[in-house]
Structure 1
Amino acid sequence: MALRAFRMQLKPGNVEEYRARHDAIWPELSQLLHESGVRDYAIFLDEESLALFAVMHPTPDAALSALPDHPVMRRWWDWMAPLMEVEPDNRPREWPLPLLFHMD
């Protein structure tokens, strides 16, 4: 699986809480992501628009498609839902970002 990037949207007034929750990411969520093949995952903030830009390097055999059904992932999404734009199931709304340039 190739480098993956996407945008999410934070709601106004939630930057510090979003940061605090990620600074204290649940160990079971970190383990789940790692076991699913997520590597080198970073989220950046555009302070003007409150857009969140996520970039991850999944392993070639990553099992990302199973994450939405995992109870730990569901609990995390439910906990984060008040802070950001979400789908009806509380999954964060994501807008894929096509790769235009990558220097390795």
Structure 2
Amino acid sequence: METVAFRMTLKPGMRDEYARRHREIWPELADALHAAGIRDYRIFLDESTGHLFALYARMADHTVDALPMLPIMRTWWDSMAELMETHADNAPVSVPLTPVFHLP
């Protein structure tokens, strides 16, 4: 398994709504993420900057690159666009993070 980490940005005042929507994640979306090979997905918030730090493990045979083409993923992004910085197509602005340390 490979670990992937990235940063997104939450709009001011949207913390509680963002957390609520993720607590109530749609079962169809969770199923799609699992089917794509994503495991142990976590998101943390730096409340001082609004930066969301996300990481997940993905299986060697993952299909994560196909997720943006799934209707459930597009609908989720559309529903989350009011809460976070997004591109014109409502995909979250996501900055990959480079690993610099790992303590196994």
TM-score normalised per structure 1: 0.98
Alignment-mate amino acid for residue 11 of structure 1: K
Equivalences for 1:20-99 in 2 at 5 Å?
A: 20-99=20-99
Structure 2 unaligned blocks of 5 or more? none
Aligned-residue Cα RMSD (Å) equals: 0.7
CA-CA distance at 1:103 after TM superposition:
1.6
Consecutive aligned runs of 4 or more in structure 1 exceeding 6 Å deviation: none
Residues of 2 paired with 1:27 and 1:2: CA distance? Answer: 24
TM-score normalised per structure 2: 0.98
Percentage of identical aligned residues: 52
For residue 83 of structure 1, give the secondary structure of its aligned residue in structure 2: coil
CA-CA distance at 1:47 after TM superposition:
0.6
Residues of 2 paired with 1:26 and 1:92: CA distance? Answer: 18
Partner of 1:4: 4
CA-CA distance at 1:7 after TM superposition:
0.1
Residues of 2 paired with 1:102 and 1:41: CA distance? Answer: 18
For residue 33 of structure 1, give the secondary structure of its aligned residue in structure 2: helix
CA-CA distance at 1:67 after TM superposition:
0.2
Residues of 1 paired with 2:16 and 2:3: CA distance? Answer: 28
Structure 1 unaligned blocks of 5 or more? none
CA-CA distance at 1:27 after TM superposition:
0.3
Residues of 1 paired with 2:103 and 2:65: CA distance? Answer: 27
